[in-house]
Amino acid sequence: MNKTDYDPYLNTAILEVVDNQLRDNDPPAVRATLERLKKEGHSEREAKRLIGAALAAEIYDILKTQRSFNLDQYVGNLNRLPEMPWERWGDRSHSRPRLRSPDFRPQAADRLSGSPCLGCLPRYEPTEAKEIES
């Protein structure tokens, strides 16, 4: 993995914004999305990572198109999770950096192809493997 593929400071900043949005309940769709994703079987940590992906996509699009924050677009991306926002970019995806990180689970890595900024997404830390008793 290249050094530019993952930025732990950016990752931390994105997750801090997500935590602040949850704490302040602003926008309320973030809390609703967290609860929905947990009901769908995602851990709280994974749900926050997915919300971070929607936030990272919005930030990327703001920087790329030099437009203002679009709450409706952000909420739309949240409502479509766990579908990754860049999966909807279709033919435009060739203009997005195609970064992958070995720190993500295989099924997530497939969805992250063409992501706006993989460094914006939280690292995956596997849980400890449990020994199987014979």
pLDDT score for 5: 62
Whether 2 is in a domain gets the answer: no
Q: 86 with 93: CB under 8 angstroms? A: yes
Whether 41 is in a domain gets the answer: yes
pLDDT score for 8: 85
Whether 110 is in a domain gets the answer: yes
CA atoms within 13 A on the CB side of 98: 6
Residue 79 predicted with pLDDT over 90: yes
Task: Give the mean model confidence (pLDDT) for residues 50-70.
Answer: 93
Whether 94 is in a domain gets the answer: yes
Residue 104 predicted with pLDDT over 90: no
Tell which wins on pLDDT, 124 or 15.
15
Rounded mean pLDDT of the chain?
A: 75
pLDDT score for 111: 44
pLDDT score for 89: 61
Give the domain extent around 68. 7-120
114: left (phi over 0), alpha (psi -120 to 50) or beta: left
Whether 11 is in a domain gets the answer: yes
Whether 40 is in a domain gets the answer: yes
- What residues contact 43, with CB distance under 8 A and at least 6 apart? none
> Which is it for the CA torsion 73, 79, 84, 90, positive or negative?
negative
> Count of H helices and E strands in the chain?
5, 0
Cα–Cα distances in Å, from 86 out to 10, 44, 52, 82, 89?
19, 22, 13, 11, 5
Work out how many domains the chain is built from and give that number: 1
Tokens of residue 106, six digits: 């295989």
The model's confidence at residue 11, banded by pLDDT at 50, 70 and 90, is confident
Residue 97 predicted with pLDDT over 50: no
Tokens of residue 17, six digits: 């914004």
Whether 64 is in a domain gets the answer: yes
Residue 108 predicted with pLDDT over 90: no
Rounded to the nearest 10 degrees, the angle between the axes of helix 44-65 and helix 8-24 is 110
pLDDT score for 86: 79
